[in-house]
Structure formats: structure tokens, C-alpha cells
Amino acid sequence: MDPVIPPDGPSGPGPSGPGPSGPLGPAYPATLDIERADHVANWRPLVHWLLVIPHEIVLYVLGIVSGVVAIVSWFIILFTGKLPEGLIGLQSLYIRYSNRVAAYAFFMREEYPPFTFETVAPDPGDDAGVRTDLAPETEGRNRLTTAFRFILVIPHYIVLAVLGIALLFVLIAAFFVVLFTGNWPEGLRRFAVGYLRWSTRVATYHLLLVDEYPPFSLE
């Protein structure tokens, strides 16, 4: 999980898109990398849930804006087969912000996430150790899958809901381990990051940034 992927490309995978093919085939045009912290202060699990509240408020507002943008995007793609880059930027901002907040709330990183609202990917080192890379599609969008996008994504949300229950127990276990040792157990961390990575792909698909159906995978 160490390699850093270049910033977003404007029209899909390519030199600016996600990395090379992996065990699942060509890389999905939405990736997430959370840099592992060498050590997490033992007290952080006790307070991160409180410190993250201002970000949760901002995220709630961004979520409302994202929902409106998704509806507008749906109509634009159906009528034109294209998605304006301005709308892509707003949705990309929301996904990146959400991942930074989640990583901090899960006490995976000590750096407080920045209150930044840039619509392009930040430079490496400016992302609080949480790197979300997206390769949105602007031209030649699939009108058919767009029309039924809110139905097609349902199976993923069902699986994520079940995995979310498992994630709750993972976070509880990690809470006590980090509290006493200052380190996330690698197996638990891998599951939590995998859940966020899966959620990122689903959000990217659901918010109409890409047409490729996301894989059912934590990888």
C-alpha cells in the first residue's frame, strides 16, 4: 500500500489514472491508500471520535451537496452522454474528504485532516496520509447503466451493510489493542482499509463518476 498514484486524469484511466493491473484485472478507476502509521498514541482512540465532530458536520453538508450534484449529473448524462468536469470535481472532493475523515475517526492516522475543499487531488504529503485517486469519465458515458444506476448499486450496499457490522467489531477490538499497544493489528487494519476501499469504489460508481461496475472485493 506504499506506492503513490498520480493525480486524477480528466477522462479515464491512462497515464493519470490508477495503477497497473492486479489480481482482479485492470485496476478500478478509484483507489484508496492509507499509509500505515508506525505508532498511534495510546490516548487517541479515546478522543478521535470527539475531535472529528467538526469534520462530520462539514461532511454532512457536503453529502447533501453531493446528492444534489448526483441528481443533476444523472439528467445531464442521460441527455448528453457527458459529465462536466465541474461536477466531477465536486463529487471527487466529497469522496476524498470522506476518506480522510474516516481514516482519522478510525484512529488510523494521527494527523488531523485538513479543512481543504480543492476539487483536484492534493500533492503527496498534503493528504494526511490518506490518498484517494480517481479517474472519472467525461465523454461517451453509458446512458443505459446511468438510468438504472441507483438500482444496480443496491447489491453492493447490501454487502457493505453486512460488512459494516463486522467493521464495528473490528473497530471495537482495535480500540482496545491501540489503547494498550499503540498499534493497529495488521489483519484488522487490512479489513478496515479494505472496507473503505470498497466503499470508495461504490461511491465513485453511485455518484456517476465512472461506468465500470465495481468488483465485490476488499482488495
Cβ partners under 8 Å of residue 120, min gap 6: 7, 8, 89, 92
In this prediction, residue 126 carries a pLDDT of 64
In this prediction, residue 119 carries a pLDDT of 79
pLDDT at 56 over 60: yes
Question: Among 10-19, 27-36, 141-150, 152-161, which is the least confidently predicted range?
Answer: 10-19
pLDDT at 6 over 60: no
| Residue ranges of domains in the chain | 30-206
Q: What is the DSSP string of the chain?
A: --PPPPPPPSSSSSTTS--S-BTTBSPPSEEEEEPPPS---TTHHHHHHHHTHHHHHHHHHHHHHHHHHHHHHHHHHHHHS---HHHHHHHHHHHHHHHHHHHHHTT---SPPP----SSPPPTTSSTTEEEEE----SS--HHHHHTHHHHTHHHHHHHHHHHHHHHHHHHHHHHHHHHHSS--HHHHHHHHHHHHHHHHHHHHHTTS--SPPPS---
Phi and psi angles of residue 137, each rounded to the nearest 5 degrees, phi first: -110, 130
Task: Convert the pLDDT of each residue in 164-180 to its tens digit.
Answer: 999 999 999 999 999 99
pTM over 0.75? The answer is yes
pLDDT at 16 over 60: no
pLDDT above 90 covers a percentage of the chain that reads: 79
